[in-house]
Amino acid sequence: MRLKVKIIGLIAMLGLFALYRSIEKLDIYTSTDSYCISCHVHTSADHSWELSSHYSTNSIKRTACVDCHLPPKESIDYWPQKIKAGTRDLYSYYFKDRAKINWAEKSEIENAVRFAPKESCMNCHENLFPFDLSKKGEKAHLYYRRNEADLHCINCHKGVGHGDSKTMYEPNTLFLKRQENIEPIHTRSAKVEGFKNYIETIPGSSVSFDMIAIPSGEFEMSIYPNNKFKHAPLVRKKIYLSSFFMAKVELTWDAYRAFLTDVESEGREQAQVNDSIEIDVISGATPPWGDPAQGWGMGHRPAISMTWQAANIYCRWLSKKTGKTYRLPTEAEWEYACRANSDLQDNWTDEEIANRIIFRDNSKGKTHLPEGMKANAFGLVNMLGNVKEFCSDWYADNPFENDSFVVNPEGPETGTERVIKGGSYRSGKEDVRADYRESTQHDKWLRTDPQMPKSIWWYSDCRDVGFRLVCEWDGDSKKTINEY
Amino acid sequence: MNIAKNARREFLKNASTIGMFCALGATGLIQCESKKERFYTYPPLLNQAPDGPVLRAGLIGCGYRGTGAVLNFLNAGPNLEITALADVFIDKIELCNKILKEKKGFEVPQEYCFVGFDAFEKVLDSGVDVVILATPPNFRPEHLAACVKARKHVFMEKPIAVDPVGVRSVMISGERADALGLSIVTGTIKRHQKDYIETFRQVAKGEIGDVVSANSYYNVGKLWHKKPKSEWTEMEAMIRDWVNWCWLSGDHIVEQNVHNLDTVNWFVGKHPVKAVGFGARHRRLTGNQYDMFSVDFLYDNDVHYHSMCRQINGCENNVSDQIRGTQGYTNCKNTIYNHDSSIKWAFDYGNKDQMLPISPYDQEHIDWVTAIRTGQPVNETQAIAESTMTGIMGRISAYTGKETTWEEMMNSDIYLSPKHYSFGKVDVDKSVPVPGL
pLDDT digits (tens, 9 = 90+) for A398-457: 888 766 678 999 999 999 999 999 999 999 888 888 999 999 999 889 888 877 667 888
Residue B382 touches chain A, beta carbons under 8 Å: no
Using a CB-CB cut-off of 8 Å, the residues of chain B touching A148 are: 34, 36
> How far apart are the CA of B12 and the nearest CA of chain A, in angstroms?
12
Whether pLDDT at A104 is above 80: no
> How far apart are the CA of A142 and the nearest CA of chain B, in angstroms?
7
Q: How far is CA B315 from CA A92, B222, B284, B310, B395, in A?
A: 79, 10, 14, 9, 21
3-state secondary structure at position A472: strand
CA distance B371 to A385: 61
pLDDT at A176: 57
CA distance B187 to B158: 5
Using a CB-CB cut-off of 8 Å, the residues of chain B touching A138 are: 172
Q: How far is CA A5 from CA A11, A13, A19, in A?
A: 10, 12, 21
Of B172, B410, B411, the CB nearest to A129: B172
B148, B173 contact by CB (below 8 A): yes
**What is the pTM assigned to this prediction?**
0.75
Task: Tell me what ipTM this predicted complex has.
Answer: 0.81
Using a CB-CB cut-off of 8 Å, the residues of chain A touching B172 are: 129, 138, 142
Residue B38 touches chain A, beta carbons under 8 Å: no
According to DSSP, the residues that pair with A237 across neighbouring strands are: A221
A303, A253 contact by CB (below 8 A): yes
pLDDT at B18: 39
Q: How many CB atoms lie within 10 A of CB A431?
A: 18
Whether pLDDT at A268 is above 70: no
**CB contact (8 A) between residue B175 and residue A142:** yes
pLDDT at B7: 41
**CB contact (8 A) between residue A451 and residue B411:** yes
Using a CB-CB cut-off of 8 Å, the residues of chain A touching B411 are: 451-453
Residue B412 touches chain A, beta carbons under 8 Å: yes
**CB contact (8 A) between residue A147 and residue B36:** no
Element (H, E) at A420: strand A418-421
pLDDT at A174: 52
**CB contact (8 A) between residue A126 and residue B179:** yes
Which of B155, B174, B104, B162 shows the shortest CA–CA distance to B136? Answer: B162
Predicted confidence band of residue A460 (pLDDT cuts 50, 70, 90): confident
Substitution target from A124, A127, A133, A286 for chain B, most B beta carbons within 10 A: A127
**CB contact (8 A) between residue B179 and residue A129:** yes
pLDDT at A46: 80
Q: Domain coordinates of chain B in residue numbers?
A: 55-191+364-379
pLDDT at A272: 44
Using a CB-CB cut-off of 8 Å, the residues of chain B touching A143 are: 410
- The amino acid at residue A29 is Y
A53, A157 contact by CB (below 8 A): no
pLDDT at B37: 59
The burial class, CB within 10 Å (0-12 / 13-18 / 19+), for A80 is exposed
**CB contact (8 A) between residue B408 and residue A453:** yes
Using a CB-CB cut-off of 8 Å, the residues of chain B touching A452 are: 407-408, 410-412
* Residue A479 CB partners (closer than 8 Å, separation 6+): A216, A240, A242, A407
Residue B407 touches chain A, beta carbons under 8 Å: yes
**CB contact (8 A) between residue B411 and residue A452:** yes
Residue B137: asked if its preceding bond is cis (omega within 30°), the reply is: no
pLDDT at A130: 92
**Phi, psi angles (nearest 5°) of residue B385:** -65, -45
Substitution target from B175, B300, B381, B414 for chain A, most A beta carbons within 10 A: B175
Domain B55-191+364-379, what architecture?
3-Layer(aba) Sandwich (3.40)
Predicted confidence band of residue A271 (pLDDT cuts 50, 70, 90): very low
Predicted confidence band of residue A286 (pLDDT cuts 50, 70, 90): low
Whether pLDDT at A168 is above 50: no
B217, B319 contact by CB (below 8 A): yes
Element (H, E) at A121: helix A118-124
Of B175, B411, B412, the CB nearest to A145: B175
Q: pLDDT tens digits, residue range A227-250?
A: 888 888 888 888 999 999 999 999
Element (H, E) at A352: helix A350-356
From chain A, which residues contact B within 8 Å (Cβ)?
74, 126-129, 131, 138-139, 141-143, 145-150, 268, 451-453
Three-state secondary structure string covering chain B: CCCCCCHHHHHHHCHHHHHHHHHHCCEEEEECCCCCEEEEECCCCCCCCCCCCCEEEEEECCCHHHHHHHHHHHHCCCCEEEEEEEECCHHHHHHHHHHHHHHHCCCCCHHHEEECCCHHHHHHCCCCCEEEECCCHHHHHHHHHHHHHCCCEEEECCCCCCCHHHHHHHHHHHHHHHHHCCCEEECCHHHHCHHHHHHHHHHHCCCCCCEEEEEEEEEECCCCCCCCCCCCCHHHHHHHCHHHCHHHHCCHHHHCCHHHHHHHHHHHCCCCCEEEEEEECCCCCCCCCCCEEEEEEECCCCCEEEEEEEECCCCCCEEEEEEEECCEEECCCCEEECCCCCEEEECCCCCCCCCCCCCHHHHHHHHHHHHHHHCCCCECHHHHHHHHHHHHHHHHHHHHCCCEEHHHHHHCCCCCCCCCCCCCCCCCCCCCCCCCC
pLDDT at B134: 97
Of A127, A147, A452, the CB nearest to B179: A127
> How far apart are the CA of B175 and the nearest CA of chain A, in angstroms?
7
CA distance B255 to B224: 14
Whether pLDDT at A265 is above 60: no
CA distance A128 to B6: 11
CA distance B239 to A131: 31
CA distance A244 to A190: 16
A341, A377 contact by CB (below 8 A): yes
> How far apart are the CA of B408 and the nearest CA of chain A, in angstroms?
6
Of A129, A138, A452, the CB nearest to B410: A452
pLDDT-flagged residues of chain B (< 50) = 1-26, 32-35
Instruction: Output the furthest CA–CA distance in chain A (Å, rounded).
Output: 109
* Residue A139 CB partners (closer than 8 Å, separation 6+): A450, B168
Chain A residue with the nearest C-alpha to that of B181? A127
**CB contact (8 A) between residue B6 and residue A126:** yes
Which of B384, B383, B394 shows the shortest CA–CA distance to B308? Answer: B394
> How far apart are the CA of A270 and the nearest CA of chain B, in angstroms?
11
Substitution target from B12, B178, B411 for chain A, most A beta carbons within 10 A: B411
Whether pLDDT at A289 is above 70: no
* End-to-end CA separation in angstroms for chain A: 103
Chain B residue with the nearest C-alpha to that of A125? B179
